[in-house]
Amino acid sequence: MPAESFRQSPASDEAATMQGGAAPPPADAMLFPTVDFAVFFVIVFAIAWLLRPWHLWWRVFLVAASWFFYGFWEPKFVLLLIGSTAFNWAVGRDLAAMRTPEGLTRFGRWFLGFGIAANLLTLGWFKYYGFFVHDVAGLIERFGVDLPLPLLQVTLPVAISFFTFHAISYLVDIARGECEPLSPIDFALYLSFFPHLVAGPIVRVTEFAPQIRAPLRERVIDAAPAFTLIVAGLFKKVVISTYLAGEIADPVFASPASHSALENLFGVYAYAVQIFADFSGYTDIAIGCALLLGIQFPQNFDSPYRAWSLQDFWRRWHMTLSRWLRDYLYIPLGGNRGPKWFVYRNLFLTMLLGGLWHGAAWTFVAWGAIHGAGLVIEREVRARNRWLGGAAAKAAGWVITFHVVCFAWIFFRAETFGAAWQVITRIATAWGEPSPAVTPLLVAVIAGSIAAQFLPKDLFRRFEVAYSELAPAAQAAMLAVALVLIDALGPEGVAPFIYFQF
């Protein structure tokens, strides 16, 4: 594998340094911004729409295509996906039999716990074993307990975090009586549908199932929004994200001490835009691809850097994850019911676990803790009626929110606490040093990316309407020009996708 993995795709290289040696995206995965994926998608699109009248075959084909897509990277992990599908489908079917009008039977609750635990243990093995052996066992050893754990390097299967989320939400929704068990083929499609497989958005079974069960009424595709999403997503991911990472975010976080205060500050701003462009770009492509196949996904990002409070930010950032955390973690913990401090505890714990989900490192826990603490403080201020109204207060709220979010990103991006602390101290102390990395173009890209989030929504809508009214040849020409521009402005080779590691 090693020599061959060094195709002209740097995918295996950069991710290694992205998060202190988290699992890299595979060098030969079928990433969205590749020729391989374009060919794959065109073929799948044609066959899927030809098969659409034959409802069963249409679904069988989409499952097969999704497994092929996943197996393209590492065939053996398709077995994991199939195993997870079979297991969760069976648990879901049996859970449904344990429901009573009052809820689950006592055994049913145990059984649900078993199903969730099995999913989490699988995820835990792949994702947290190393973290446990390195960090947690070390802590335990300090108390004199020696855990003889082998040091293993476990390869993290791409997408496992996301299909674990889908599986758990399916089981809980059945237990709550919100949905009925799906047929094996429907469930297989729900869990492994390739547009959302790798990095979301996290789709609810209640959103997805009706769309694949519905008999075909009209063969109409929301093409203009789909193309707009795909092209904008590619631009964000391939051009903006890569430029900012290479230009300043990566160098600054690699060695904060070699950079001035201004460079460190802009390194953090750049990372804030980079992770948004990278991640929202990828999910926009996913939403667009699904739309072309006639499936609507929920929105995943809604101009998060417009937010004027942290609560507002979490309604706009990775919305399907926030929703998942709310419904399957926050509410089971007790949610908003109970004494104030109990509610604050739930909020804080939810964000802490949300942080840990992003990666097996204490820095991610710190990221979650900052957001958890920020949300609690915000609620307390509101509860005491200290929340000011008016435009000036909103503007101040925006500045504070953006900087709290950026502050948290420092911990998210830094490989160690030491490195995070170094970025912070450099920003505080190293003023007046030359800052060659902060160029006018860089500042313009960062400022422009944030300003673009304030654009009115109907601007995009108007563009989509205008695009949909063009002749097909003009539509194709615009698509081609956009693709060539993105390719020319992008890097040579495909940069890795940050969220593969989560």
Partner 1 sequence: MSGATRHGPRQRLGARPRRVFGVMVGGLLLAVLLNAPALEQGAESMPYGRERDFWLAVWKPFAAVSRTFYLDEPRNLLDRALGRGGGDLFELPAAPGGGEEPGREPPATAPAARTPAPGRGTPAAAPTPTPDLRPRLRTPTAADPLRVWIGGDSMSKVLGEAFLRQAAETGVIAATHDPQLSSGLTRPDFFDWPGHFNQLVQSGRYEVFIVMFGANDSQGIKTPDGKIFQPGEEGWTAEYRRRVAGVMDLLGGGNRLVLWVGQPIMRSAEFSERMAALNAIYREEAAKRPWVQFIDLWPLFTTPSGGYDAYLADDDGQVKEMRHPDGVHLVRAGGERAARAIMAVLKAEAKIP
SS (H, E, C) 55-114: HHHHHHHHHHHHHHHHHCCCHHHHHHHHHHHHHHHHHHHHHHHCEECCEECHHHHHHHHH
Cα-Cα-Cα-Cα dihedral sign, residues 314, 318, 319, 321: negative
In 3D space, the residue among 271, 277, 241, 236 whose CA is nearest the CA of residue 254 turns out to be 271
Q: What span, in angstroms and rounded, lies between the C-alpha atoms of 372 and 354?
A: 10
User: Closest approach of Cβ 411 to partner 1, in Å?
Assistant: 16
Q: What span, in angstroms and rounded, lies between the C-alpha atoms of 397 and 275?
A: 22
User: Closest approach of Cβ 77 to partner 1, in Å?
Assistant: 14
Residues in the chain, overall count: 502
Amino acid at 119: N
The answer to whether the CB of 278 falls within 8 A of the CB of 303 is: no
In 3D space, the residue among 49, 34, 40, 33 whose CA is nearest the CA of residue 71 turns out to be 40
Choose between 334 and 493: whose C-beta lies nearer to partner 1. Answer: 493
User: Closest approach of Cβ 278 to partner 1, in Å?
Assistant: 12
User: Closest approach of Cβ 283 to partner 1, in Å?
Assistant: 7
The token pair at 271 is: 């990372």
In 3D space, the residue among 260, 238, 241 whose CA is nearest the CA of residue 250 turns out to be 241
User: Closest approach of Cβ 14 to partner 1, in Å?
Assistant: 6
User: Closest approach of Cβ 353 to partner 1, in Å?
Assistant: 24
Count of other CB atoms within 10 angstroms of residue 96: 15
Q: What span, in angstroms and rounded, lies between the C-alpha atoms of 298 and 211?
A: 13
Choose between 303 and 311: whose C-beta lies nearer to partner 1. Answer: 303
Choose between 130 and 359: whose C-beta lies nearer to partner 1. Answer: 130
Q: Does residue 55 carry a catalytic annotation? A: no
Q: What span, in angstroms and rounded, lies between the C-alpha atoms of 177 and 174?
A: 5
Q: Across-strand partners of 100?
A: 103
Choose between 294 and 374: whose C-beta lies nearer to partner 1. Answer: 294
In 3D space, the residue among 30, 35, 33 whose CA is nearest the CA of residue 68 turns out to be 30
Q: In 3-state terms, what secondary structure has residue 255?
A: coil
Choose between 16 and 214: whose C-beta lies nearer to partner 1. Answer: 16
User: Closest approach of Cβ 354 to partner 1, in Å?
Assistant: 19
The token pair at 323 is: 């929703």
The residue from 55, 358, 371, 403 that is catalytic is 358
Choose between 225 and 374: whose C-beta lies nearer to partner 1. Answer: 225
Choose between 46 and 377: whose C-beta lies nearer to partner 1. Answer: 46
Write out the catalytic residue numbers: 358
